[in-house]
Homo-oligomer: A and B are copies of this chain.
Amino acid sequence: MTRPRPLRADAERSVRAILEAAEQVLARDPAASMEQIAEAAGVARATVHRRFATRQALLDAMATDVVRQLDTLIDEGRPETAPPMVALHRITAGVLRLKLAWPFAMASSMDPTSPMADGQRRIADRCEDLMRRARDHGLLAPTADLTWTRQVYYALLGEAAHATTEHDPDALATLVLDTLLHGLGPKSE
């Protein structure tokens, strides 16, 4: 699963360059060829195949990478111990940062046919756990459906990453959570 043997420094550099180039190119055109990725990475196509045996292997590596970052990011948000609103804001801002930097990898890791599907399911479960805590703390309506809540939360994250005016992760996180909790209706209901 992991590297059978450690890579040399130049090979490691190639791996990084390819992963980052793939993100750039595939975000623009998900059907882009290995050739285009290689060119963007500044390496020969053969080298891409040396580091990633198949196209699928490259895509999997991107998804794995981003899911790992997501995992540590959630850990650091202390979703089980910190006040729900604090954890929510920290995690939301972190996810937005990731989404802004790795939009393609983030999107492809959500694909249920991806080998990271169980990783995403685990993350979704942790997300729903946090939502449950938020509900218990009175942050969400007692009647709120946790699955729907998480769906809406994911959707808002996706839209916020596409926002045209604002690009600061913290400001966007505030917008996302405010919208999630209060909607867009008037304050005096």
Query: Is A119 interfacial (CB-CB < 8 Å)?
Result: no
Contact yes or no, A140 B182, CB < 8 A: no
**Min CB–CB distance A29 → chain B (angstroms):** 9
Size category of the binding interface on chain A: 20 to 34
> Closest residue to A157 on the B side, CB-wise?
B155
Residues of chain B within 8 A (CB-CB) of A183 are: 179-184
Contact yes or no, B139 A151, CB < 8 A: no
The stretch of A32-40, A46-54, A67-75, A158-166 in contact with B is A158-166
Query: Is A107 interfacial (CB-CB < 8 Å)?
Result: no
Residues of chain B within 8 A (CB-CB) of A156 are: 152, 155
Contact yes or no, A139 B185, CB < 8 A: yes
Known: A140-B185, A184-B144. A162 touches B152 (CB 8 A): no
Known: A147-B164, A164-B147. A152 touches B182 (CB 8 A): no
Which of B31, B151, B185 sits near A181, CB closer than 8 Å?
Answer: B185
